[in-house]
Amino acid sequence: MDRPSSFELSEKTTAIDFATQMDLKAETLIVQSLLAARPDDGIIGEEGAARQSTSGVTWVIDPLDGTVNYFYGLPGWNVSIAARDSQGSLVGVVNAPTIDSLWHAVRGAGAFHNGEKIRSTTQVSLDRALLGTGFAYDVAERTEQIAMVASLLPRTRDIRRMGSAAVDLCHVGMGALDGYFERGLKEWDWAAGALVATEAGAHVAHLGDGARKLTVAAGPGLFQTLQEALAGALN
């Protein structure tokens, strides 16, 4: 929350995909804190932190998810941290202070928003569904994303683009969104948020192969229909 008056930007995959000095400082603080408490655990961080696990637990860290929102002074950016074992995400926390939201989930123990248990929507038809999505930093890849949005928009209640995959997934978990889809997410984008969504009763899948997998999340009554609609949009 101590947002600087000026930013030091480091370019990543493209000129519009960047990290600020706060992304780097946040990751350093998180890694140091985790390893002080659990020195045998592994680390995977968006900004490059990497460490092999000898305990069987690896922390997956997005130190500042929604960096563009943060840079422009928009709400919804967050810190997303998950721990995974051989079975997948074990715990997940997403903290979005600008919208007063702290989500957490433990595998098999439910999902919570600011301490209150949450549930996804259940029986929502596509024509009444509010969906979330996001767009790639590589502008060449946005043509396909535009086709998906153009196909779905006339068939749904509406589509929102918040700017943070982790918060979008958590919003599915608490019913603030009925569904969500996005291509090209990395593990640190979804590891915590997907656990929150699934522990809240939603279904989450990563469809396809390679870096351009399509992540789809929705309540059980909408999930299959949304998958089919997305597949149709790409044909």
Domain 126-233, architecture per CATH: 3-Layer(aba) Sandwich (3.40)
Q: From the centroid of its chain, how far is CA 35?
A: 24
Residue 18 has pLDDT above 70, yes or no: no
Could you say which DSSP state residue 55 is in? S
What pLDDT does residue 144 have?
82
In sequence order, what are the beta bridge partners of 92? 82, 105
Chain region(s) in the chain for CATH 3.40.190.80 = 126-233
User: How far is Cα 94 from Cα 111, in angstroms, rounded to an integer?
Assistant: 11
Lowest mean pLDDT among 9-13, 72-76, 119-123: 9-13
**Residue 25 Cα distances to 78, 91, 158, 192, angstroms:** 14, 23, 37, 20
User: How far is Cα 172 from Cα 204, in angstroms, rounded to an integer?
Assistant: 10
Residue where the block lists tokens 């997940």 = 92
pLDDT tens readout for residues 34-47: 999 999 999 999 99
User: How far is Cα 81 from Cα 75, in angstroms, rounded to an integer?
Assistant: 19
DSSP H helices in the chain:
21-37, 67-72, 142-152, 165-174, 187-199, 223-233
Chain region(s) in the chain for CATH 3.30.540.10 = 9-117
Class of domain 9-117: alpha beta
pLDDT tens readout for residues 170-229: 999 999 999 999 998 999 999 999 999 999 999 999 998 877 899 999 999 999 999 999
Averaged pLDDT score across all residues of the chain: 93
Find the angle CA(191)-CA(192)-CA(193) to the nearest 5 degrees. 100
Which is more confident, 5 or 207? 207
pTM (2 decimals)?
Answer: 0.93
